């Protein structure tokens, strides 16, 4: 994940690379601007590019009954993020092909002084959970489970 932001603008890009062709790869990038004084609401424009071999012959549907393109997608989107109580982000996004995706997400939930957690669920029937152990102010060890990619472990660098 890569993020550059200031008081108003936010550029975020997430990359996921599976261990095999069946797990595939994903890139999601969003550029948004907070429009309210308290920074609870951020409209954005973005793109989503992903590919994996699993399920290519099957067409899953999302919670709205729309064809789910989570196995192969190259789409431009418009949407917004609204911060709910307890700092949970609600994201609504519509892709250029009419697919709608809603999600709830929270990162950096303090469990203890050095342990943080996170979660995500969305209408594409995807979910994610993560734990991070903070080694120092610039580094941590992160473990992550994603419904599409599976289990992963990594190093988290903060600057």
**What's the CA gap between 120 and 145, in Å, rounded?**
10
User: What's the pLDDT at 22?
Assistant: 73
Global confidence as pTM? 0.87
* pLDDT tens per residue, range 112-155: 999 999 999 999 899 999 999 999 999 999 999 988 778 989 99
* pLDDT tens per residue, range 26-72: 899 999 999 988 999 999 999 999 887 765 545 678 888 888 766 77
Question: End-to-end alpha-carbon separation of the chain, Å?
Answer: 13
Sorted by sequence, the CB contacts under 8 Å of residue 122 that are 6+ apart come out as 101, 102, 103, 104
Strand partners, 27: 15, 49
User: What's the pLDDT at 70?
Assistant: 64
Q: Is 87 helix (H, G, I), strand (E, B) or coil?
A: helix
Tokens of 127: 């979910």
**What's the CA gap between 69 and 5, in Å, rounded?**
29
Query: Taking 70 as the threshold, does the pLDDT of residue 12 lie above it?
Result: yes
Determine the average pLDDT of the residues in 103-110. Answer: 96
Q: Which CATH class is domain 2-157?
A: mainly beta
């Amino acid at each position: 994940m890569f993020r550059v932001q200031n008081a108003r603008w936010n550029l975020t890009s997430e990359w996921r690379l599976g261990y095999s062709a069946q797990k595939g790869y994903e890139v999601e990038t969003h550029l948004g601007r907070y429009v309210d004084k308290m920074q609870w609401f951020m409209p954005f424009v973005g793109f989503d590019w992903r590919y994996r071999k699993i399920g290519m012959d099957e067409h899953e549907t999302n919670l709205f009954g729309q064809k789910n393109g989570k196995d192969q997608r190259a789409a431009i989107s418009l949407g917004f993020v609204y911060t709910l109580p307890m700092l949970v982000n609600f994201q609504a996004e519509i892709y250029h092909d009419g697919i709608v995706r809603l999600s709830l997400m929270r990162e950096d939930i303090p469990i203890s002084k050095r342990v943080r957690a996170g979660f995500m669920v969305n209408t594409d029937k995807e979910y994610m959970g993560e734990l991070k152990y903070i080694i120092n102010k610039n580094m941590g060890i992160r473990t992550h489970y994603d419904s599409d990619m599976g289990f992963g472990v990594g190093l988290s660098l903060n600057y």
